[in-house]
Amino acid sequence: MYAIGQILKEIREESGFPLQEVQQQVDIDLTQLSRIENGKRLPTVDQIQRLARFYNYDDKTLLIHRESDKIVYSFEYPEIAIETLKVAEEKVRYGVQYLPMFQNTIYQKPISLESRRYIGSKAKLTEWIMNLIDTETEGVESFVDIFAGTASVSHQAIPKYEHVIINDILHSNNVIYRGFFESGDWDVEKLNDIITNYNTLDPDSIEENYFSENFGGKFYEHNTAKLIGYIRQDIEDMKAELTKKEYFILLATLIYNIDKIANTVGHFDAYIKRPIKPQPFRLRLIDAKEFENVEIYRKDANLLARKIASDLVYIDPPYNSRQYCRFYHLYETLIKWDKPRLFGVALKPVAENMSTYCTVKARDTFTDLVSNLNTRYLVVSYNNTYNSKSNSSENKIRLEEIEYILNKCGNTKVFECSHRFFNTGKTEFENHKELLFITKVDEERKNKSFATLLRW
Ligand SMILES: C[S@@+](CC[C@H](N)C(=O)[O-])C[C@H]1O[C@@H](n2cnc3c(N)ncnc32)[C@H](O)[C@@H]1O
């Protein structure tokens, strides 16, 4: 039975018209009119408009009832009607923009660690790096990823080695490692409920907040920015009801989901100057695991080097003047959530955790690092990804310098990665060189060498 019939009947009775009079005035056959009022027949759009005019009633309201009756009676599986309507609502709201959300909602696959956009990520090179380490080293039980970035290399090392240390100076990276790897209790159903609740938030009912006021319309569409700010605050407000692991999973989940939709070319040094289309924003949990053999730090690599001992240290520092804390300042602000004053077009906070590896001191800092590491193998990634015309893109340590310093620590082999590992055919990577140095540390040679080296 169509509900619109009952509504029309009530309007007519309220207005005090007998059926026959309506039939004469609006020129609809009496049997038809009676079937419409009994809910047995759906009125046409034209009939609705004539009736609305006659009763002096809002035709839009009646048309909405007619459309919804049509939808309700079209269901072949009424048991999934509500879910179907929710998805239909999003398709209507977002049109083609719906696709990324579709991928998120239908395939509820957790987000993988490797899916993050990160300058210098070795996600595509891990197979090459780990194979070389496998063949060139022996008896390695402990592994350190001392400039871990996305931790894509650590991710491969965890199942192979007895002990893995993961370190990076950034707060946002640290939260990610703890969400993906750290041991601790967490309840996936509880987290899914929280996420589902976030996914049904209506941005129009949310107030402006720190995140939307600063980043809305710039790095994110304004309504999306409102949601991000609201969710970040909510995670903080809920902290007492969450385990540590749950807290870190939620924060890492927030970073990973907003990473995909940022209005940037992959970092937050600048946003793209164009109006941002409304985007669907639905969270999907990260693929959280827990590993007993992992130790996580957020320390300056050179300070940590003085405190740890291990069989192998993988070293992948920044090589040019572009600071990671500035590239990813928005995530740092989001994770620290101390709502700092922001400056400049890119809305950066006062600089923190600036890396000496991005300065003229890079060579000495690198020397200091390798000379202080207590390890049997040094494995160093070196690339010229940003070796372009701009000064800021020039590498701060030259290839020959790295080789020279490493040779002072022990016999060093150099491997060059074939393009097929990282080049998907894009011409801008034509000159991209990706090298890996593997040094078998000779303690005697190292101890003798560094007195002279440090006098450079
Ligand atoms: C080239 S990226 C590492 C990429 C990483 N191997 C990956 O696969 O994603 C360099 C990393 O070093 C970190 N970093 C820079 N200076 C540091 C320092 N002094 N101590 C610790 N981490 C530092 C940056 O935050 C950045 O994540």
Q: 409: CA distance to ligand 1 center in Å? A: 22
Do 44 and 161 lie in a common domain?
no
Tens of pLDDT, residue by residue, the chain (456 residues): 899 999 999 999 999 999 999 999 999 999 999 999 999 999 999 999 999 999 999 999 999 999 999 999 898 888 888 888 887 887 787 776 666 555 555 456 899 999 999 999 999 999 999 999 999 999 999 999 999 999 999 999 999 999 999 999 999 999 999 999 999 999 999 999 999 999 989 999 999 999 999 999 999 999 999 999 999 999 999 999 999 999 999 999 999 999 989 999 999 999 999 899 887 888 999 999 999 999 999 999 999 999 999 999 999 999 999 999 999 999 999 999 999 999 999 999 999 999 999 999 999 999 999 999 999 999 999 987 654 555 556 889 999 999 999 999 999 999 999 755 554 444 444 567 899 999 999 999 999 998 765 444
Are residues 307 and 438 both part of a single domain? yes
Question: Torsion angle of alpha carbons 247, 250, 253, 254, nearest 10°?
Answer: -110
Bridge partners, 378 (sequence order): 313, 439
Q: Are residues 138 and 32 in the same domain?
A: no
pLDDT of residue 425: 42
Probe residue for ligand 1, chosen from 147, 332, 383 as the CB with the greatest number of ligand atoms within 8 Å: 147
* Rounded (10°) angle between helices 3-15 and 30-37: 110
Confidence (pLDDT) at 83: 80
Ligand 1 and 318: CB distance under 6 A: yes
In a domain, 329, yes or no: no
Do 312 and 384 lie in a common domain? Answer: yes
In a domain, 347, yes or no: no
Domain of residue 364, CATH code: 3.40.50.150
70 domain residue, yes or no: yes
Ligand 1 atom with the smallest distance to the CA of 325 is 25
Q: Which among 45, 74, 103 is the end of a domain?
A: 74
Is the shortest distance between the CB of 120 and ligand 1 below 6 Å?
A: yes
The token pair that represents 335 in the structure block = 């994770």
Closest residue by Cα to atom 4, ligand 1, is 149
Token pair 């998805």 is at which residue?
A: 87
**Cα–Cα dist 243/255, whole Å:** 19
pLDDT at 170: 98
Asked if residue 267 lies in contact with residue 385, where contact means CB atoms within 8 angstroms, the answer is no
Looking at the fold, whether 65 and 158 belong to one and the same domain comes out as: no
Q: Which residues of 423-440 are buried (b: 16+ CB within 10 A; e: fewer)?
A: beeeeeeeebebbbbbbe
Q: DSSP class of residue 273?
A: -
Pairing of strands 410-416, 434-441: antiparallel
In 3D, which of 436, 369, 440 has the Cα closest to residue 153?
A: 436
**CA 292 to mean position of chain CA atoms:** 25
Domain's final residue, options 74, 97, 128:
74
Helix or strand (DSSP H, E) at 340: none
CATH value at residue 55: 1.10.260.40
User: Is residue 349 assigned to a domain?
Assistant: no
The reply to whether 301 and 444 lie within a common domain is yes
Query: Residue 144: CB within 6 Å of ligand 1?
Result: no
Within this chain, do residues 30 and 173 fall inside the same structural domain, yes or no? no
**DSSP type of residue 279:** -
- 422-424-427 Cα angle (round to 5): 105
Same domain, yes or no: 429 and 311: yes
Both 155 and 294 in one domain: the answer is: yes
Strand ordering across the sheet containing 163-167: 294-297, 163-167, 142-145, 309-315, 374-383, 434-441, 410-416
H or E element in which residue 159 lies: none
In a domain, 35, yes or no: yes
H or E stretch at 2: none
Ligand 1 pocket check: which of 323, 355, 372 to mutate, most ligand atoms within 8 Å of Cβ?
Answer: 355
Residue 106 lies inside a defined structural domain of this protein: no
pLDDT of residue 147: 98
* Domain housing 299: 115-181+290-321+359-453
42 and 126 co-located in one domain: no
pLDDT at 173: 98
Count CA within 13 A, CB hemisphere, residue 194. Answer: 23
Which of the listed residues 55, 74, 93 is the one where a domain comes to its end?
74
**Ligand 1 atom nearest residue 301's Cα:** 20
Q: In this structure, are 122 and 29 located in the same domain?
A: no
Q: Does residue 19 lie within any of the structural domains?
A: yes
Residue 427's pLDDT is what?
Answer: 40
For the chain, how many structural domains are there in total?
2
Statement to judge: residues 70 and 122 lie in one domain = no
In a domain, 94, yes or no: no
Q: Using DSSP, state whether 439 is helix, strand or coil.
A: strand
Atom of ligand 1 at shortest distance to CA of 153? Answer: 8
